[in-house]
Structure 1
């Protein structure tokens, strides 16, 4: 068997298909490193998202292989051999599918080289996400070969690639329901959307449903490839019906987002030694040495406030069944932002963010002007705490002017009045009584 496979690898287009999948797969991953920086699950899911193109290329590769045999006029020679069609076609089908699977896995390993030194948490579901993506390459190749055998034209392979990519990309868009009631069949696609944060994993039933579905589709593709009669072709398509009957009830409604669930292990807190308390989520534990010094610097500045916060903790998420985390007076919550090396982008900016986050209001505001003015007020208070004018915000020039004017008016007041207004703003932030900007610029009433 090994000798037969080696022969097929040499004479078929298997190596060419594998090389194309490998190069394109690596290129797609490294075009979007921010989606998977420091995250094994992010890498695996991003690679599954790339199946929009990789699956289409494998489909086209299978069609091209059959076209190549037709063009070389060896199919008639092989047909004259007194062996069943499936025995003659199986080695080629296995060789092309095998190289596509290996290429998919190799592209993931190329990304893993970058993730391994920066990731601090390995989700148990990562191998399953990768395995299902690799499995999907087999039906892609065999369906492509079946279509190429039925339509042995030069345009078949590129047309298949375009149609498949448009279908994989377009079906979720066409059937998207703003209320989240997308039909189950949308999730039959092996493509996964970009993960919504690092605290999620793919639900286990999604893996089971995809495995059943893809195995049945692969069986149907191989059956269509080797079928010699119309009746045989009709029977070969029956595994698709069986796969749909088994897989669809396992799938939730709600589109691609429904494929994910909250990962409590990733959300566990990892805290620095000593005081004050500084904690990050387990999935971002590598950030802790970078976060701790500026976090404690921010807490030292915030100590000027009445009822100052005494801890800095990375916020979680309220999606996918995660427990909500209300803001409290003693804790400043933040959302981790880092570069592709999983390092804090700027310690100074992080300090400023923490100072402004300490004045986030734990209540909902329906007035958009109040929300904008509240952000300006938080910038002014952060500037007052550091003794520096508010840094420009390139995305909020109107707010820059308001913040500059409010800061100048604040520092022009007597020191006692400055402290009183900042203290009043802190109380307003904690109690949701009054508007921050008005309290800061006009004083408490």
Structure 2
């Protein structure tokens, strides 16, 4: 499997030579400075490629786009979307003309991944990302004051949410909003509380079925073009894989993936398999999902979570937590071997170590939340070791 690393561009505190030292050769990047819905020009794409390939001795290439964003108007099905669909297709054409054919995107309404703590301290001083159900409820019900929000939260969670509000300072409330927004590391726009209320009003009345219909329309508009270009589109699952702030989630379960790959059947219409995002769903059997949908996996994010009964979860070590990552890796390696045996040109499945703990001097570097240098290096080394061991064992057993 191709070892890749998410890099946020020239301003990323993690440098390209450090990524090579970690063992990755594929760069996962995006043009975050371009407004959602606008065309990614060939000039902009080539400029990023030149930066990535500036030192040929590193052997780096722009392997995966993460993400080519979907404009909110498309998710809403709002107004005349002709230009937005044209722009998305043109961006696909431009990427393909530059040799980039693996595209990750998501269809999460309004927000990307959502957490309430960015630095939960662990034994020894490392820090982790965490989702606390009571803090989400406190924000939803008593800061955002979304109508009827209390009905979406468990009574015990609401009780703890009220207790949190009683002791929270204005600074605590501001920091909670900033933490929720941190899941949009490349977003063009972020929201304050009034802005979130305004945006939520646009989604008011949009049901799960409505969002699914809008997503199906998006697939119908862009997948044929992707197929013509030899592009593989991989949708990232919702994170967390359940409704947040009343926003429906539609890429969260095995049933959701069945709907997606069946909506527009094509090799170009696949998934980015994120073990952490799927792993936060209590009903998701992640290894079984990997095996079931292996032919549709275009890209893999490998990380782990520890779940709690109230819906809270914390990001664990890459090989710790609730998800049997070793079993998932064995499935991915078997699928890659199948593709190679079938003579497919793009048989390699790129993967990256997803969110890592901040370790050692990571906290001093100013990296994006969830994307430390040392923590991800450790995760990549562990994952690489598992892959080598599984490959050796499977080879000996044949």
TM-score above 0.5, yes or no: no
Q: Which has the higher contact order (CA 8 A, sep 6+)?
A: 2
Instruction: Pick the structure with more helix per residue.
Output: 1
Q: TM-score, normalised by structure 2?
A: 0.28
Instruction: Pick the structure with more strand per residue.
Output: 2
